[in-house]
Amino acid sequence: MESKKRFFLKVTAVFFLVSWSSIAQKDYKLWMQYDKISNAEILSKYKASVNGIVSLENSATAKISSNELEMALNAMLDSKIEVKSKIEAENSIIIGSESVLDAEIRTQLQKDLTLINEEGFIIKSILFKNKKQIVITGKKDIGVLYGVYSFLRLVQTHQPIENLNIADAPKTNIRILNHWDNLDRTVERGYAGFSLWNWQKLPDFIDHRYVDYARANASIGINGTVLTNVNANALILTPQYLEKVEALANVFRPYGIKVYLTARFSAPIEIGGLKTADPKDVSVMNWWKEKAKEIYKRIPDFGGFLVKANSEGQPGPQNYGRDHVDGANMLADAVAPFGGIVMWRAFVYSEHDANDRAKQAYAEFVPYDGKFRENVIVQVKNGAIDFQPREPFHPMFGAMPKTPLMMEFQITQEYLGFSTHLVYLPKLFQEVLESDTYQKGKNSLVAKVVDGTLDNHKLTGIAGVSNIGNDLNWTGHPFAQANWYGFGRLAWNPYLDSGVIAEEWMRATFSNDEKFINPVKEMMLKSREAVVNYMTPLGLHHIMDTGHHYGPGPWVSNLSRPEWNPVYYHKADKNGIGFDRSKKGTDAVGQYAPTVANIFDNLKTCPEKDLLWFHHVPWNYKLQNGQTLWNGLALKYQEGVDQVKEMQTTWKNVKQYVDPERFDEVEMLLNIQYKEAKWWRDACLLYFQQFSGKELPDGVEKPTQSLDYFKSLQFPFAPGN
Ligand code: BDP
C-alpha cells in the first residue's frame, strides 16, 4: 500500500515536472518551436529532399549554423540527419561561406554571389557531380547563419524546397535593439520583468539566456544591441562594468551581434574626475579618446555609442554653449579610429521653447544637415511627439538629405497598453515606412530615407526600443513576441508586408493550420487600429495618464512642463477639439515637403486618421461618413471596444489549435484588454463631453463609472516608470 502511494506520488511529480517544463518551454521558445511536422504528405516530401547536412567550415558561427540546422531538422522531420564535413550522398544541405565552397559549386553560384552584400546569403538547389544538393552560402559565415534561419523558416512555414533559388541580403547595416535597461536591472518602460543583464553575476556567470537571446536575434537578422538606457549611467564606462560588457560581447559575437553602449555626456566629470564635459575642451576630447581605446582593447568589434543629450534633463553639449554637432562629432572622432559609430538621438524638446513640441526636433536639427562626421547617424523617432498609437511620420525624414538618419521604433508598448494589450506593431511600422516624404517628388518613401537609397547613404539603420525582459516568455504577452520578430524582419527589409510577417510568425510560433492562421492573422492586423480607436482616434495623441502613461488621463493639466500635459495636446474646448498645426496654427505642416504640407493643411484633404493632430475642429464638423465630429469620435471609441470583443471571440474559436497554457494566457490578457478598452472609452468620452455638451450617440454604450471615479484612479506602482 505504502509503495503504491509512493509510486503514485512519484508519477504525479514526474508528470508535473514534465508538464511544467513544457509550459515554460513553449512560451520560452519564441518562433523557434520546431515542432514535428504532423502533415504526413508534407513531411514525406521534406524527408525525400533532405537526408544529410554538410558543414564545410569550422568557425564558431559555422558551428552554430550546423547545430541549429541539425537540431531543427531532426525535430521537425523527426529523423536522424547527421552533420558531415564532406559531400557524399545526394540531397544534402551544404553550408559554408563562399571561400570554402568546392570550386565547381562556387562557379555555379558566381552570378548569385554578386547579388548580395557581406551579410547576405544564397539558398540554391544545384546539381553537383550529377547529384541534387541544396547549398546555403554567403560572403561570410554570418550570412550563412542568416541563410540557415531563412531555410528553416521555409520548413517551419511548410514552403516547398525542391527548387530553391533565393538571394537575400539586409537593406540596412544597423539592425539594433535599444534596451532601456538600468544597472539595477529595472527597465525604463519595460513591462516584461527585469533586465536580462545580470550585472552583479557578470562577468563570471554566463546565464544561458544570453545565448538564447543572441540566437533569437540572429534568427531574424538583428545585428546590434545597445545594452543600457538612453537615460544613461556613466558607471557602465568604468572598468568594473566594461569587464561585464566584454563578457556579453563574447557571447553575442558568433551570432553576428555587436554590442553598443549609451554614453552619458557628463561621464568625463562623473567618472573621469574632470571639471568639465565641454566637447571643445582638449582634456575632454582626450578623455573620450582614451576611453574608446580602453573599450576597443577589450571589445575589438564594439559598435559605438548611442547618445541622448540635452533632452529631458540629460546633460549634453548645450550645457557648455556648444551644439549637437559639436557633441556628436567629438564622440565620433573618439571611436572613428576603431571603426565605431555614434547614434545621436534627435528626440529633443524644451520647456523653455514656447514652440509646438512637434516642431522642435526638426527646428533644431535640420540646420545641421551635412555637418556631422561620416560615422554619425542621427536617430529619429517615427513621429514628432513620442511613440503614440498613431503619429504622422516625423518631418525630419525627407528634410536632411546630407545626413544619414536612422529610424527609432518603440517595440515596448509604453503608450499602447503595456504588455497586456494585444497590438501587432509591424502594422504601425509599415505605415510609417511606406509614408511618402515627397523629398524628391513622388515615391520618396521613409523606407528609402532609412535604407539610404534616396540620398545614397552607406551608413543606415533601424533601432527598436526593446520589449524584452526576464519574464519566462521574454515579452510579457505571447503576442508581443511578434513585435520583436516583426521589428527584426522589417529592419532587415523595410519593404516587407506586415501581413506576410504575421503569417510567418504564427506558423513558426503556433500552427500551420489555415483554420488558425486566417482568423488570427486578421485579428493581428486589425489590432493596431483597435488600439488607436479605443485610445486616441482621429488623430488624438498623448492623452495617457501622467508619468507612467497607463490608462487615460485627458484631464491632466498640472505637470510642471506644459508639453507633458494631455490638455496641451487635445486642446478641447467649447468650440471643438484638436491641435491646430495648420498654416493658420503652429504651421507644423510647413515642416513637410509642399505636397505633403498641403494635404495635411487642408481640412478637406487631411486624412481623417490624422485630423485632430493637425486641426482644431468644431464639434459639429461633418466627417466623411456624414457624422458630426462628436458623434464620430464617440463611435470610434465604441468601435475600438467592439474590435477587442471580436478579438476575444476569434481567440475562443481557435482554442483547439493552441496549447492550453498559451491559450489561457492570451484569453486572460484579452479579458483585461477589453476591460481597459472600455475604461479608455468611458473616461475619454465623459471628459470630452464636458466640452461638447452633447449626448452620446446611439450605438455607444453607457459609461460604466463616473468621470470623478476615473479621475480618482491612481497607479503609484505602474511598471516601467
Ligand atoms: C519617452 C519615455 C521616456 C524616455 C524618452 C526617450 O517616456 O521614458 O526616456 O521617451 O525616448 O517615450 O528618451
| Same domain, yes or no: 654 and 704 | yes
Tell me which of 180, 181, 394, 569 to substitute to probe ligand 1's pocket, judged by most ligand atoms within 8 Å of the beta carbon.
180
CA of 231 to the centre of ligand 1 (A): 8
* Cis peptide, bond prior to residue 203, ω within 30 of zero: yes
The answer to whether the Cα torsion of 328, 333, 337, 338 is positive or negative is negative
Query: Which cell goes with 1?
Result: 500500500
Nearest to 340 by CA among 315, 382, 307, 366: 307
CA of 701 to the centre of ligand 1 (A): 35
Query: For residue 561, what pLDDT band results from cuts at 50, 70 and 90?
Result: confident
CA 353 to mean position of chain CA atoms = 31
Of all protein residues, the one whose alpha carbon is nearest to atom 2 of ligand 1 is 189
| pLDDT, tens digit (0-9, with 9 covering 90-100), for 108-157 | 999 999 999 999 999 999 999 999 999 999 999 999 999 999 999 999 99
| Same domain, yes or no: 122 and 255 | no
Of all protein residues, the one whose alpha carbon is nearest to atom 9 of ligand 1 is 231
| Same domain, yes or no: 210 and 290 | yes
Phi, psi of 32 (to 5 degrees): -115, 50
The catalytic residue among 386, 391, 436, 563 is 386
The angle formed by the CA atoms of residues 483, 222 and 169, to the nearest 5 degrees, is 110
- Taking the CA of residue 308 as reference, the ligand 1 atom at the shortest distance is 13
- Taking the CA of residue 314 as reference, the ligand 1 atom at the shortest distance is 13
| pLDDT, tens digit (0-9, with 9 covering 90-100), for 500-552 | 999 999 999 999 999 999 999 999 999 999 999 999 999 999 999 989 999 99
Longest dimension (CA), the chain: 89
pLDDT for residue 360 is more than 80: yes
What's the CA gap between 418 and 192, in Å, rounded?
9
In a domain, 628, yes or no: yes
CA of 414 to the centre of ligand 1 (A): 9
CA of 506 to the centre of ligand 1 (A): 31
pLDDT for residue 79 is more than 60: yes
| pLDDT, tens digit (0-9, with 9 covering 90-100), for 455-476 | 999 999 999 999 999 999 999 9
| Same domain, yes or no: 69 and 185 | no
Query: Which cell goes with 647?
Result: 478579438
In a domain, 638, yes or no: yes
pLDDT for residue 693 is more than 90: yes
pLDDT for position 409: 99
In a domain, 605, yes or no: no
Query: For residue 2, what pLDDT band results from cuts at 50, 70 and 90?
Result: very low
In the chain, how many domains are there? Answer: 3
pLDDT for residue 4 is more than 60: no
Q: What is the 3-state secondary structure (H, E, C) of 588-603?
A: HHHHCCHHHHHHHHCC
Report, as an integer, the average pLDDT of 359-380: 98
| Same domain, yes or no: 212 and 142 | no
Query: Which cell goes with 43?
Result: 513531411
pLDDT for position 25: 83
| Same domain, yes or no: 188 and 90 | no
Active site annotation includes 414: yes
What's the CA gap between 282 and 291, in Å, rounded?
14
Query: For residue 23, what pLDDT band results from cuts at 50, 70 and 90?
Result: low
- Taking the CA of residue 410 as reference, the ligand 1 atom at the shortest distance is 12
Phi, psi of 438 (to 5 degrees): 60, 20
Of all protein residues, the one whose alpha carbon is nearest to atom 11 of ligand 1 is 347
CA of 256 to the centre of ligand 1 (A): 28
Of 143, 168, 193, the last residue of a domain is 168
pLDDT for position 273: 98
- Taking the CA of residue 549 as reference, the ligand 1 atom at the shortest distance is 7
pLDDT for residue 12 is more than 80: no
Residue type, 222: I
Q: State the angle between helix axes of 514-535 and 660-692 in degrees (0 to 180), rounded to the nearest 10.
A: 30
pLDDT for position 21: 52
| Same domain, yes or no: 162 and 190 | no
* DSSP SS3 for 463: strand
577, burial (CB in 10 Å: exposed 0-12, middle 13-18, buried 19+): buried
Report, as an integer, the average pLDDT of 237-261: 98
- Which residue ranges have their beta carbon within 6 Å of ligand 1? 188-189, 230-231, 308, 312, 347, 386-387, 414
CATH number at residue 697: 3.90.1330.10
* DSSP SS3 for 711: helix
Domain region containing 351? 174-509
pLDDT for position 245: 99
| pLDDT, tens digit (0-9, with 9 covering 90-100), for 303-314 | 999 999 999 999
- Taking the CA of residue 231 as reference, the ligand 1 atom at the shortest distance is 9
CA of 467 to the centre of ligand 1 (A): 14
Of 168, 203, 227, the last residue of a domain is 168
In a domain, 467, yes or no: yes
Of all protein residues, the one whose alpha carbon is nearest to atom 1 of ligand 1 is 386
| Same domain, yes or no: 360 and 416 | yes
7, burial (CB in 10 Å: exposed 0-12, middle 13-18, buried 19+): exposed
CATH number at residue 130: 3.30.379.10
Helix, strand counts (H, E) of the chain: 22, 16
Query: For residue 1, what pLDDT band results from cuts at 50, 70 and 90?
Result: very low
CA of 195 to the centre of ligand 1 (A): 17
CA of 526 to the centre of ligand 1 (A): 27
pLDDT for residue 189 is more than 70: yes
Of all protein residues, the one whose alpha carbon is nearest to atom 10 of ligand 1 is 386
- Taking the CA of residue 180 as reference, the ligand 1 atom at the shortest distance is 9
Active site annotation includes 391: no
In a domain, 586, yes or no: no
The catalytic residue among 212, 281, 301, 312 is 312
Of 465, 494, 509, the last residue of a domain is 509
Tell me which of 230, 314, 381, 467 to substitute to probe ligand 1's pocket, judged by most ligand atoms within 8 Å of the beta carbon.
230
| Same domain, yes or no: 237 and 366 | yes
| Same domain, yes or no: 135 and 190 | no
pLDDT for residue 11 is more than 50: no
The catalytic residue among 57, 119, 391, 414 is 414
pLDDT for position 22: 58
What's the CA gap between 572 and 619, in Å, rounded?
10
What's the CA gap between 425 and 431, in Å, rounded?
10
In a domain, 480, yes or no: yes
In a domain, 349, yes or no: yes
Q: What is the 3-state secondary structure (H, E, C) of 551-598?
A: CECCCCCCCCCHHHCHHHHHCCECCEECCCCCCCCCCHHHHCCHHHHH
CA of 591 to the centre of ligand 1 (A): 23
Q: What is the 3-state secondary structure (H, E, C) of 513-527?
A: CHHHHHHHHHHHHHH
| pLDDT, tens digit (0-9, with 9 covering 90-100), for 478-496 | 999 999 999 999 999 999 9
Active site annotation includes 312: yes
- Taking the CA of residue 311 as reference, the ligand 1 atom at the shortest distance is 13
Q: State the angle between helix axes of 141-156 and 208-219 in degrees (0 to 180), rounded to the nearest 10.
A: 80
| Same domain, yes or no: 265 and 371 | yes
- Taking the CA of residue 229 as reference, the ligand 1 atom at the shortest distance is 9
Nearest to 588 by CA among 567, 609, 615, 565: 615
Nearest to 468 by CA among 225, 174, 201: 225
CA of 308 to the centre of ligand 1 (A): 10
CATH number at residue 418: 3.20.20.80
Tell me which of 188, 311, 412 to substitute to probe ligand 1's pocket, judged by most ligand atoms within 8 Å of the beta carbon.
188
In a domain, 600, yes or no: no
| Same domain, yes or no: 469 and 565 | no
* DSSP SS3 for 220: coil
Nearby residues of 686 by Cβ (< 8 Å), 6 or more positions away: 703, 706, 707, 710
Report, as an integer, the average pLDDT of 45-65: 97
| 680 membership: H or E segment, kind and range | helix 660-692
